[in-house]
Structure 1
């Protein structure tokens, strides 16, 4: 389970579930008005959700279980189904049911204590977060940023600071050429164009995959006729990886927080390689982070 695949919407769901669980221990009924009544005859019985099994299971624990299902379904590499229903879909339906029950419970209650009021608010937030997470762009953003891996633990065995698109180097736009003095020019900015070209040629000989060739240089190993060369990238949210033959069934899911190697370009998509060596087509390349 990859926790970096969780979104901000999942964070809202988790927070609402925690509040809902806390509310289950609070009083369901408001304190009675005992003014003018003998204290011996004033009812002071306080009950919480754990004293009512039906309310506990249909609102409070139902909401917590719904949040667990949604978060687990998001973190799994592949969707799991129970009786033909995906875990995430079942969790959303359960969250809506908990909010629906909490609303009519507080309407029917003679007096509402902190447990009922806070439980209703938490259940409504939980249901809203579960439904809106896949729809609202702000909630679809990753909950945790994607850290760049350390040089010593770099996958695919690239040499530190040498590979094209090596994570940690200066980023450049997709398909763009390196700017003079920027990434791909080891000597940095220089006033002498002859010195800059000599430094660039030396870097290309030391690391054949150091980037796209400048004018007069040989294309790096692995570059195709159009000048494409492999580079590292990370996805902002979990995205499916489809077979290269165009089959509709995904072969893997790319998760945020992990660097993948783009080995070829197919129209607007990229042919990506996972850590275990599988290759497939990433059709949605919007918002990818280049290394």
Structure 2
């Protein structure tokens, strides 16, 4: 996605950029940083080694099993498949910055940390099982491939999990632009207690029904009905309607329509990102131009850009309303 700016005065925008502190440049190999080159190299060696047989010569001589990790069921998914996907996304990110930015709620670097960590744990489990069997039977089931893969995956963990704390790999994480976190990675919402249900008035309803039944059944007597001549009943009354038109009282049916959200203009004290439903920035608002807010949702503003795009402004602190 692009990061558009609402700068109506370009001179002000240029002066702000000139006064911003200059960040230390990052050098690497081509478009890749030093950390990314080292990580790709570790993965490449691990990928080539994964095609060798993981069984030892002793196990293969006794016809126990053989073959690489690719031919042993689905073991390849966590051992080498997940790190391969992570490295592919890291390479793709350099050539297409607006491409795949997340895997679920994880960023590309976060997914790489998880992938290499899980792979290292799986290889460690295989090696632990091999040592346990060797202690009990004296037979080594797995060969040198397991040891090499474990060392390479641990190197991948260092280049992903511990890289922000190790120079010069930490330069790859310094000065990155801040964006709104994915909705699954944001703080959880508070859970409100359900309102208590009003007590049911079962006893009062039963008393009312009993009273109505008593008066309806025994209030009138069949022998007390007056004759038709005594009540003034005539033959014309039988054809008269019970109610004629325009005899009811008019009722004022005017209802107030629900108040719609009123749009207003807003001015942020500094440039802030306006994101879409997925949390990806689509344009920016700043102190040099008023932004049209379509709806105020409390902690979030629904903002409309000049080109018609609509996004969400999550940082609404210090906003001036116009």
TM-score, normalised to structure 1's length?
0.43
Larger Rg: 2
TM-score, normalised to structure 2's length?
0.40
